[in-house]
A and B are shown apart, each in its own frame.
Chain A
Amino acid sequence: MGTLIIVTVALLFLTAILTGGYNQRFLDQVKNSVVWDYITTVDHKKIGILYFISGLVFFVIGGIEALLIRIQLVAPGNDFLIGDAYNQVLTMHGTTMIFLAAMPLIFGLMNVVVPLQIGARDVAFPFLNALGYWLFSFGGILLNLSWFFGGAPDAGWTSYTSLALNEFSPGPGVDYYVLGLQITGIGTLMSAVNFAVTIINMRAPGMTFLRMPMFTWTTLVTSALLLFAMPALTVGLLLLMFDRLFGANFFDHAMGGSHVIWQHLFWIFGHPEVYIVIMPAFGIMSEVISTFSKKRLFGYNSMVFAVALIGFLGFMVWVHHMYTVGLGPVSNSVFAIATMTIAVPTGIKVFNWLFTMWGGELDFKTPMLFAVGFIPTFVMGGMTGVMVALPPADFQYQDTYFVVAHFHYTMVGGTVIGLFAGAYYWWPKMFGRKLDERLGKWHFWPFIIGFHLTFFPQHFLGLFGMPRRVFTYNDVPILQTLNIISTIGVIGMTIGTLAFMYNIIQSFRRKADAPADPWNGRTLEWAIPSPPPAYNFKQLPLIRAYDQFWISKQTGKEIEPSEPLGEIHMPSPTYLPFLMSLAMFISGFGFITRGYEMGALGLILFFIVMFIRSYEHDPGYHIQPDELTGVEKEAKA
């Protein structure tokens, strides 16, 4: 009851402040500040930047957790970080990197780039876009608050219920996992709907599906995967919440429940999830390699086909995470074959990238360096993927460092390196400033060398029998040597990441003077100023071919507009998404602390704001044609 009163009073104060009943001048100051601008923005470019920056922050947090893990494992019998503390750091490293670093970095790039690539003025649902971001953000904060209030989740990022039920993990840690991820998950689902509708309904006239840039294609397939995968996680988290908070028996064997149900639900989500994070990296590769080879992407149609096929097959392979559960040889074989089949479309993509470079005019700028580093690294991850796809062999690899090595080759060597390439490539478009090339090399080389040094030996650690998730190992010389090498590699990755951070800070110290088309690009986003004006395109372009902008540059003709110059309708900024997410955050925190009034209050607040939004008659505002040309001239000057 006490919490309820405190929250109510705090909300009343907040209302007083926000309506100006407290101090009008203070309110004006707030409303003109940059922070307020970003809190209320519905502009896809600003939301993209918010996603990207949040992703970077969580990437650093997850990286520090990784560093702690490697320090603990540098010597056998080390006592730097042991037992429950190690379990918490390990769990949060995985959870943070997947849900709070990789996903928002991807969403950041998608948000900024996709509407520009398809020649649209915004996404289909600007409000939902903001809501998706704020839900993600508050969910991530909630999850990380666990460090300060009661201890972090300690059941691994997969949170198997044989570790995660109350009797095995008595603290509130797993509750933070369940509710934090549930809230980010709702946001993610909204973003998926948003991107899919944007791409299907809002392409510029003439941009048929087979004229869409590859990054847009991978975004579409990723959205479809999210759409069908996220609900499985939603259900899994819901059931686990019921078990932990309300005494349900889904996973309790004594009451007829089953651990295996969680495993199925988690991996029906979890396997598509790994394609969700790698697919956009494939898209980035296709854009970067094509641009810096000055060649049309080789085998564009087969690339599209391959992405769609990977997306489709991605749903038929989840049991390969469960070979040792004992579902029987027939089920294991079917899923093994489906898993190995995915190597075919992935191989198509790899060869198409190589053939794009073949005979191209290669230019090794930083994005291209990362792209070229990506190909062999990711192929190695793919090869070990085929190895673990074989059930008889997997019985040996299961739960050893071999698996750790495998998925870090795909997640770091694939997703993270791909995202770095994308960051360098689109930074000028996001911020109007280029990242420094020399620092970029300082980022690339230590990072990639350090990465291989860290994870290559882990294959052998696994083969020599070192189990994953365990905080120490026996004093065997070969294990010790390989672990030391592995920890030394982290130094390289740290130097690389620090160089990247320094590069970012340096870029903001410089003037925003990036040209509209710094890389001699091929797709539509390079046809407009960097950073683009709020309305993106003065006139929506008319598309007649794939790589329209490149063709226009080659033929010396401007891209034709598809509409006369007219006033542009814009959605107005709103603080409701922030408020709704805050309500969800309050609710989640209430349930975690078992303050059910607070939990209910948060939910009620959420629905009230939702209905306010429905009743709000918001026509947006219009930008007049004369304002447009003015802005355009300013950008050119």
Chain B
Amino acid sequence: MESQAETATEHLESSTLEGKNKILGFWLFLAAETVLFACLIGTYLALRGQNMGGPTTQDLFDLGLVAVATGLLLTSSLTSVFAVNALNQKKQKGVQFWLGVTVLLGLAFLILEIYEFVHYTSMGHTFVSSAFGSSFYTLVGTHGAHVTFGLFWITGLIIQVARRGITKETAPKVFVSTLYWHFIDVVWVFIFTLVYLLGKVG
């Protein structure tokens, strides 16, 4: 009985009905997002051979660069877990620090992605050059847009936690934003496999 009470206070994010609703609602939203990315990935797989004489996936992709980007994003997922750990221990400074690290890693990933896009464009692989180009930029770009939104969101939450501390209102927000961040990470794992790896060795 005592241990139950303890876990209840540890998990501030689900201590209120509002918090529970928010978390369940967000899981359902992620289910919808999964379908969204599944549709984009399906479209890409159907069109990835249609380069219309432009550069192919073999010519374009540089696995080294993508590996670094993947490493950054996966690490940022880990640091967001540290943030949730700090949240459970009610260490406000820890939450802010680890969320900050998450944002920085995400930003580095985004910069690499933008560099990658600029590089591909200079090689003649653009959004309008072929069906392959359209589907590639739409899929990876939608993921990038999600990362960008996540960066703004988590930055906003760092400020909010700094102002209001860890409360029944802010805890679910932080928790849910890390769910989102893990989801983006998982989507990237699929993109890495189905776009880059398959494009290079498939």
Interface presence of B175 (CB below 8 A): no
Interface presence of B190 (CB below 8 A): no
Given A235-B43, A256-B132, do A614 and B28 touch, yes or no (CB 8 Å)? no
Interface presence of B32 (CB below 8 A): yes
Q: How large is the interface on B (under 10, 10 to 19, 20 to 34, 35 or more residues)?
A: 35 or more
Q: Is there contact, CB below 8 Å, between B43 and A230? A: no
Q: Is there contact, CB below 8 Å, between A257 and B24? A: no
Interface presence of A194 (CB below 8 A): yes
Contact of A258 among B46, B130, B160 (CB under 8 A): B46
Interface presence of A75 (CB below 8 A): no
Q: Is there contact, CB below 8 Å, between A265 and B25? A: no
> Which of chain B's residues have a CB closer than 8 A to the CB of A615?
156, 160
> Which of chain A's residues have a CB closer than 8 A to the CB of B134?
239, 242-243, 248-250, 257
> Which of chain A's residues have a CB closer than 8 A to the CB of B20?
201
Q: Which of B47-55, B92-100, B108-116 contacts A (4 or more CB under 8 A)?
A: B47-55
Q: Is there contact, CB below 8 Å, between A125 and B21? A: yes
A-B contact count (CB 8 A): 110
In the bound complex, how far is the Cα of B131 from the Cα of A243, in angstroms? 10
Q: Which of B20, B25, B50, B132 has most chain A Cβ within 10 Å? A: B25
Tell me the B1-48 residues at the A interface (CB within 8 Å). Answer: 17, 20-21, 24-25, 28-29, 31-33, 35-36, 39-40, 42-43, 46-47
Q: Is there contact, CB below 8 Å, between A235 and B40? A: yes
Q: Is there contact, CB below 8 Å, between A201 and B17? A: yes
Given A231-B39, A611-B156, do A196 and B28 touch, yes or no (CB 8 Å)? yes
Q: Is there contact, CB below 8 Å, between B32 and A231? A: yes
Q: Is there contact, CB below 8 Å, between A228 and B35? A: yes
Contact of B36 among A125, A235, A256 (CB under 8 A): A235
> Which of chain A's residues have a CB closer than 8 A to the CB of B135?
250
Residue-wise, chain A 167-195 has the 8 Å CB interface mask toward B (1 for contact) of 00000000000000000000001001110
Q: Is there contact, CB below 8 Å, between B131 and A255? A: yes
User: A233: nearest residue on chain B (CB-CB)?
Assistant: B39
- Distance between B16 CB and nearest chain A CB, rounded to angstroms: 11
Interface presence of A202 (CB below 8 A): yes
User: B40: nearest residue on chain A (CB-CB)?
Assistant: A235
Q: Is there contact, CB below 8 Å, between A197 and B21? A: yes
In the bound complex, how far is the Cα of B134 from the Cα of A436, in angstroms? 57
Contact of A249 among B28, B36, B131, B164 (CB under 8 A): B131
> Which of chain A's residues have a CB closer than 8 A to the CB of B32?
189, 192-193, 227-228, 230-231
In the bound complex, how far is the Cα of B51 from the Cα of A248, in angstroms? 13
Interface presence of A7 (CB below 8 A): no
Q: Is there contact, CB below 8 Å, between B39 and A256? A: no
Interface presence of A261 (CB below 8 A): yes
Residue-wise, chain B 134-174 has the 8 Å CB interface mask toward A (1 for contact) of 11001000000000000010001000100010000100010
Interface presence of B199 (CB below 8 A): no
Q: Is there contact, CB below 8 Å, between A258 and B169? A: no
- Distance between B173 CB and nearest chain A CB, rounded to angstroms: 7
- Distance between A617 CB and nearest chain B CB, rounded to angstroms: 7
Q: Which of B128, B131, B169 has most chain A Cβ within 10 Å? A: B131
Contact of B131 among A189, A200, A231, A257 (CB under 8 A): A257
> Which of chain B's residues have a CB closer than 8 A to the CB of A11?
none
In the bound complex, how far is the Cα of B152 from the Cα of A395, in angstroms? 52
Residue-wise, chain A 232-243 has the 8 Å CB interface mask toward B (1 for contact) of 101110110011
Given A256-B52, A261-B46, do A248 and B24 touch, yes or no (CB 8 Å)? no
> Which of chain B's residues have a CB closer than 8 A to the CB of A247?
127-128
Interface presence of B106 (CB below 8 A): no
Tell me the A23-56 residues at the B interface (CB within 8 Å). Answer: none
30 A-B residue pairings within 8 Å (CB atoms): A124-B21, A189-B32, A192-B28, A197-B21, A201-B17, A201-B21, A228-B32, A230-B32, A235-B39, A236-B39, A239-B138, A243-B134, A246-B127, A248-B127, A248-B134, A249-B134, A255-B131, A256-B50, A256-B51, A256-B130, A256-B131, A256-B132, A257-B47, A257-B131, A265-B39, A611-B152, A614-B173, A615-B156, A617-B164, A617-B169
Apart from A201-B17, A201-B20, A235-B43, list 16 A-B contacts with CB within 8 A.
A125-B25, A192-B28, A227-B32, A228-B32, A228-B35, A231-B32, A231-B35, A242-B134, A242-B138, A248-B127, A249-B134, A250-B47, A250-B134, A250-B138, A256-B51, A257-B134
Residues of B at the A interface (CB closer than 8 Å) are 17, 20-21, 24-25, 28-29, 31-33, 35-36, 39-40, 42-43, 46-47, 50-52, 127-128, 130-135, 138, 152, 156, 160, 164, 169, 173
Closest 5 CB pairs of A and B: A256-B50, A256-B131, A248-B134, A231-B36, A235-B39
